[in-house]
Structures are given as structure tokens and as C-alpha cells.
Chain A
Amino acid sequence: MVFLTRHLLYRRFYQPHHDRSWKKEMQNRLTWHFYGRRRNCYALQKDAIRRSLRFATVVRSSRRRHVNYIFSDRIAAGCAQHGVQYSSFMRSLYENNIAIDKKVLSSLAVYEPRTFQSLCEFVKKQHTEKVYAGLAASVEPTPSGIVTREMVDKVYKS
């Protein structure tokens, strides 16, 4: 905490219930986003904080997953504006060693649409180059349940 004057600092030690004032400080930090009197009243804050911390424990594991879904949705929306599919976009970036994670890609889609557009153009160009090189089969996914001799050889050699 920052105290602008010495008077404001010493006020915390010489007021009635001065110990509790620090606890109040901590509770206010946890309830800034609550609605109504549970946000400001000390007595009402206590139960609300216990409840919210309990939820925080439960949600901790699933929150990252949900945030990741939102990143995917945003990237997919950005791709769709330039006529690229999300899955082919991400795969092409991976194959070309463009190591940008989903968080950054989604923020690029929102705040730097021209940068994101250039990435999409890159993906499209990669795709057309592959098609011209006769590697269209590598762009298409392999049908499931089919094992060729080449695939077996590749596994043995590696």
C-alpha cells in the first residue's frame, strides 16, 4: 500500500479496531466485483468471500479450458473472414514452424487484423504451392482405417 502522507499511515494504527482495518482491506480486494451490499459491508462480505473462494477452487481446472475455447473461437472467426479454415490454419502454422500460441493469435485477430490477414494469406499461399507441387494428397487427411506399406516402412525406419 502506498500512503501519501505520514498522517494517513499512522491513522491505521491509532484508530479504533485498527487491526481489523487491514483485514477489511484484504476483503475489499476480494469483493470489488460483487453486487450490492456484499461488496462494501464488512459483515456481509465474509460469507460471500468464503463462497466465492469455494467456487474458485472448483473452477480452477476448467477455467483454462474455457479460456482456450474462446481463443479458438476468435481465431476461427478471424480465419473465416479471409476464407481459411481454423484447422488448416493452425496445422499450416505448425508445419512451417511459426510458433505463435493461440492467445497471441486471438489477440492478433482482434487488435491487429492486418497482421492476421497476412498470416492467412501465407497459409493460402502454402496451400496453393502444395497443390501445384503435386502434394495435394498430403493436404487432405489420410482416410481412417487404411495402413499402407509406406506407412509401415516409415515406422520401422524411425
Chain B
Amino acid sequence: MANNRVLQWAVMARTWWIYDANLQCPFRSSERIITYLKGKHKPIYHPFADIGDHVVVFNTRHVAMRGNFWRTFKHFNHTRYAGGFSQASAWRVHEMDPTRIMEKACYQRLSGLPMKKTLMARLHLYPDEEIPQEILENVSGQIRQVQVVPKKLEDYTEEEIQNFPRLFEWPENYDVESYQRENQQEPDQHTTKKWRLD
């Protein structure tokens, strides 16, 4: 075969992968993404070899966190000056920078590697579906999502909701609304400093 000499190039080449973060857990997604960043999906993997791929992640604004994590999961920062500690809840960080949650999740999972800054430079994060053309034209593969994208309540029609089978009907005088918790923005404890990104 004439192309025997170049068969390995597909292994050595830096391929580009795309990942849709729409309604995906950022922590489980990051675990899957960093295997591609580190090149762990290739049989020639070695922790010190620079064989990782590029990963393009879009829809990071629409990541979904489990349970109460938007309130309870904290991002920490210390400026290394006295009293420079600050922290912020995930929802607050997400408001400031919608790519920050995914970036930090990946960065923390790369801890202990000497090349983590190099690998992070190959992670391209976009908050929405708009990806620059020069990035998108490199992409040649898709990473499988970690969970099935659920259908939201607003996606169902009124008819489907009404026809959904019920075990029982609430009584007319039963008070549901007042038991629901108010959607309050919890303040970040233990710090008076304003959260800063860097």
C-alpha cells in the first residue's frame, strides 16, 4: 500500500472534537472532555506526551447542575494578599461569565499535570450556539453527551399535560402555593469581599 507511510498521521494529528453542553452536568462532562484533551482515547497515550486533541464546547450557558448545586456549589479565589479571599455561588459566577463553570470544572480535573495550562488552551468554550467559522471548520468529530437531554415542562403542549395520567386529583381547597419555597438569592457567607474572577 502506497499510503502505509502516512497511516499513523491520523493518530498523531491534533483532531478537533465538538461537545454540546446543553442540559449536561458540567462535572461529568468535564471528565469526558479531559480524556480527549489529554489524549487518553488514543492507544499511544502517555501522561507526558503532548498528544491531546482540541475540544470545542458550546451551549455552556445552558449547563444543568444537580440538586441544589447552583446555590451550594462555591467557587473560591484568593488574591494572595491578606484578606484577599472571596467566594461565590455557582449561579453568581455563571451570571458573570457563562463559560466559567465548565472551564473551572475541566481545570480542576487536570490538577497534578504539568501540562494543564497547555491542555486548557485547547479547550474552546462558547456560551451559546454561535461558534466562529474558523473554529467550526476544523471540527471532525463529536463527543457523546453524558446524559439524555430532558424535555422541559414548557416544551409539552397544554393538551399533553392535561392528558398525563394522574393517581389522584388535588382537592379544590388544598393549598399548594404557600408551601413552595421562595426562590431567593442566598448571600455568600464568610466573606465581605466582592467575588473577582482572577
The answer on A and B forming one complex is yes
- Whether B43 pairs with A74 at a CB distance below 8 angstroms is yes
Query: Is B47 close to A, CB under 8 A?
Result: yes
The answer to whether B43 and A78 touch across the interface, beta carbons within 8 angstroms, is yes
A110 lies within 8 A of chain B by Cβ: yes
Residue B42 is within 8 A (CB to CB) of chain A in the complex: yes
Instruction: Decide if B43 touches A109 in the complex (CB within 8 Å).
Output: yes
Give the residue name and chain of the B residue nearest to A116 (CB).
B43
Main secondary structure of the interface of A (DSSP, over half): helix
Chain B window 8-51, contacts with chain A (Cβ cutoff 8 Å), 1 for yes, 0 for no: 00000000000000000000000000000000111111110000
Q: Within 8 Å CB of B41, what residues of A?
A: 77, 80-81
Which DSSP category, helix, strand, loop or mixed, fits chain B's interface?
Answer: loop
Task: Mark B154-192 against chain A: 1 for CB-CB distance below 8 A, else 0.
Answer: 000000000000000000000000000000000000000
Residues of A within 8 A of B40 (CB): 73, 77
Docked pose: A77 CA to B43 CA in angstroms: 5
Chain B residues lying within 8 Å of A92, measured Cβ to Cβ, are none
Q: Does A45 contact B (CB under 8 A)?
A: no
B44 and A110 contact, CB distance less than 8 A: yes
Residues of A within 8 A of B47 (CB): 70
> Distance in Å from the Cβ of A99 to the closest Cβ of chain B?
21
Please give, as numbers and ranges, the residues of chain B lying within 8 Å of A113 by CB-CB distance. Answer: 43
Interface residues on B, range: under 10
Residue of A nearest to B44 (CB): A110
How many Å lie between the Cα of A80 and that of B47 in the bound state?
Answer: 18
- Closest chain A residue to B41 by CB distance? A77
Q: Would you list which residues of chain A between 47 and 94 have a CB under 8 Å from chain B?
A: 70, 73-75, 77-78, 80-81
Say how far B45's CB is from chain A's closest CB, in angstroms: 5
Tell me the complex Cα distance, A113–B43, Å: 9
Cross-chain contact A110 with B46 (CB below 8 angstroms): no
Residue ranges of A at the interface with B (Cβ–Cβ < 8 Å) = 70, 73-75, 77-78, 80-81, 106, 109-110, 113, 116
Contacts A/B (CB < 8 Å), 24 sampled: A70-B45, A70-B46, A70-B47, A73-B40, A73-B45, A74-B43, A74-B44, A74-B45, A75-B43, A77-B40, A77-B41, A77-B42, A77-B43, A77-B45, A78-B43, A80-B41, A81-B41, A81-B43, A106-B43, A109-B43, A110-B43, A110-B44, A113-B43, A116-B43
Give 9 closest A-B pairs by Cβ, nearest first: A109-B43, A78-B43, A77-B43, A110-B43, A74-B43, A73-B45, A77-B41, A110-B44, A77-B42
Known A74-B44, A77-B40, A81-B41; further 16 A-B contacts with Cβ < 8 A = A70-B45, A70-B46, A70-B47, A73-B40, A73-B45, A74-B43, A74-B45, A75-B43, A77-B41, A77-B43, A78-B43, A106-B43, A109-B43, A110-B44, A113-B43, A116-B43
